[in-house]
Structure 1
Amino acid sequence: MAVTIERRPEQTEVLRRVIDTVPALIGYWDTDLRNVASNLAYVDYFGLTPDQVRGMHIRDVLGPSVYELNKPFIDGALRGEHQQFDRTLIDAGGKIRFTQATYIPDVVDGVVRGFVVHVSDVSERVQAEKARDDAVTLFETAMSNAPIGQAVVDTSGRWLQVNQAMCDLTGYSADELRDLSFRDITHPDDVPAADLHLAQLLEGSRTHIESEKRYIRKDGSIVWVQRNAVIVHGVGAGAADIVIAQIQDITQRKNAEAELARQAVTDALTGLGNRHSLMAQIDALRHLRADGVGLLFLDLDGFKSVNDTYGHSAGDELLADVASRIRRTIDDGDLACRIGGDEFVVIIYSATSPEDIERHRVALKRAVAGDYLLPSLTEPITIGASVGSSWSNTGDHRDHRDLLTVADQDMYRDKIATRHAIVATQPITPPDDH
């Protein structure tokens, strides 16, 4: 038995006020697509009052073009199927509205009697989504076309998004990087600093990180990078914080800096250390050495005559060969320097006693003195060497630069002794009786 609900006039008036205050289109259309009821929102959308809309065909309200677009949904509602779709409308004031329309079938005893229309203005949401999508598109476009590496990292350090420049920099594909964290490709010596920087970003003690670090490329080679990173806090429920990083290859610059630093302490002719390098190491001895250290001072005998007889090019070749012999004679951990002209100084870190430094002195003298076949000469030349030594005992608090003075003085004693030995071994020429 059907139940009839009788509404009093005041209830109908309240219902009318309710639907008129709803900020959405509300209407009822019968199966002939004629309007039965509508609210005041139709004035804003179509410039028609509820009284004017009543009895109109839906096509005349929507207009022919919108009607044709909506007809499949109208037909669906008349079949008893719930419909929901998005539609762009131009209202009576010429304003573009992005709407979401819902058609709800009115079914009585299994028969569709009409359908209720509910149309909400979702322009703000659509514009916000468009702004978001535009921002995402702009970000992705900027990343894709950036000439330097760009990446998005989560708070655990895993790569979320990388651009092609980052792939080129590391040698990994984007998919391979997404299976890794930044720690997996960071040089082990640089991981502690990188972890500290991430922690500072997360705790808020720093908002921006700028640092230089090393990555290990997929092929095992090392690349120096300058990394600039900022944290972006998630907006909205469940949104995660992320770190956005720009990563630039500075390997060439670092290599150039290293080469300049090397040149500053390297003798250009021989590749040994220079005077600056020697004095820096001597000054550091008091801080680096707890035990004794030995020093050798070597000067070539007869070098001036090589320059005078064969030219300075031959003299340079001789100095380079002397440097090679010194390298082959001393231990890997010892430091050899050319401090000017034909003078060389060697810090023998490996020496353990004055007797040991004397053994090194004799070995160096024997190695350097002798015959040299230079590239520019057809005959070998013979050169001598004078070598002095000095030793600093454990706990000796004197200026370690004195080691150089003592070794220099000892070298001159060796030079005088060598000359005397040469004179003593020369044969005595008998006087000419004639």
Structure 2
Amino acid sequence: MAPDDPSSPAVGSDAERTVLAVLNGIPGLVGHWDTNLRNLHANAAYVEYFGSTPAEIRGIHLRDLLGEAVYEANLPYAREALAGREVMFDRELVDVHGQVRHTQASYIPDIRDGEVTGFFVLVTDVTARVAAERALRETIDTWRALARSVPGGFVLVFDRDLRYTVADGPALARFGLDRESMEGRTVFEVLSPERAAELAPRYRAALAGRTTTWERVLGARTLELTAGPVVSDGEVTAGIVVSHDVTDARIDERTWSALHRVATDVAQQRTPEEVAWTIASALVEVFGVNTAAVVRYVDGASADVLAMAPEHLPTVPERVVFAVGDRSTTAQIYETGRPVVAPYDTGGGSIAGQARAGGLRSSAGAPIRHRGELWGAVVLASSDEGGLDPEVLEPLTRFAELVELAISSTEAWETLARQARVDELTGLPNRRVLRAQLATEVERSHRHGRPLCLAALDLDHFKSVNDRFGHAAGDQVLRELGRRLGAASREGEVLARVGGEEFAWLMPETGPDEAREAAERLRREVSDRPFAGVGRLTLSIGVAALRADTDPATLTREADRALYEAKHAGRDRVVLA
């Protein structure tokens, strides 16, 4: 994607500012390059490092920015990224003050619709870590002291017999190990045969003077382990393994990539469902959970599930209703406005029961705010009986804050909120609102023993309108019909467009006879008043009443069946199921 490509946000545009805001929220140097190795975006840290300006960097060729020697050294990594493969490596750089900095660089493919359109370069400063690893080689006391000072890490020192002489650090417990059980014993005596067979070649490579690095995922944490030689007077005297927690760094990298997709969706005016799906899918990818969702609070008693990834669980309705004493994550966030981890236990309320029925056992969530007000939440859910680690809350909260940043403009939020609930052509509520409200009203009617009816409506012979008068005239008919239908419904009722010329009318506190009379009045209102430029049109209506054993899906099927009978009987009539 070249800078003048129409799919690239224009310089100075809202979309451009949104993308840069997301990039500036990522710790480290971030550059975005196209397939021709020309720059598309660079965050403030990237621009500052090269002592340049955004205008000077945008569109510049990678060779011209790095210089010939550094360019040739980095070109293989760029080619790997353009081939769709992520590359990560360590490199020493000299900053603008002449100081040598140790960095870790990642070349990440930018893949859209299955094609590589460029790549991102993420450079993070790991000078402190390198210095710490060098300090480990001095003495055993230094090794042990440093091991205990590395948050979430550990240090192992082993001799030529692969016997541990030092084993220390807070992360050993994550492996079910401790200092007492390791020091003085070989890797084969401490670990399982499978694990020892995996590590022994890496240890021997360290004793041969080579360094290897790998990662291990333990629950919600990711550890990076490096095995290398301990050199004294030019000779390898031992081997050392240094581990440190890179969970936050990995989450930040994946979050940065995911939030770029979110910002792009917003800039390209994707539908609310598409934006929410991108966010939910990103949550699954970033945090490695079974399920993730984006919810929007409707009122103090319910929330709409805008998207759930990788798929919407059939046991979870599109509108979840908070029961009295509900301790689900979604309910607690609404109550407190704070991130929370909560189990889906049997006493947690109806939402917890719905989630458990879908195989989930615990959840974590963080609030999404708009202009300081609680708007919704991002929610993770896991089927692991051990539950989600509370440590996930900090990166999840950062993710939610970056979502707020990606959907930064008031107009974008208001558009998302409106489009998520309103049919654009008629101005009536859409199918999502109907389904959510239907679930709420069915539950309420069953709980309190109150009547409820649903009517399915279809404009007769609408296809002939489009065929004879054109689609513009057809759209005008639907707009006028929407106005007439909206005027016919009472407060508390929902009259929604569910597709094409199909509509639905949800009537709480209404029995079958009253619903049939209301539907008959509406039918006459349509047939007695011709539509401008088109003439007389008619409406067929099927009405169904809630019974004690009826759920939302059954009530919908019965209304559709009654509508079919009205059509089959000659149209322009009301049939009660």
Same-fold call, TM cutoff 0.5: no
State the TM bucket, normalised to the shorter chain. Answer: 0.3 to 0.5
| TM-score normalised by L of structure 2 | 0.28
Give TM-score, length-normalised by structure 1. 0.37
Report which of the two structures shows the higher radius of gyration computed on alpha carbons: 1
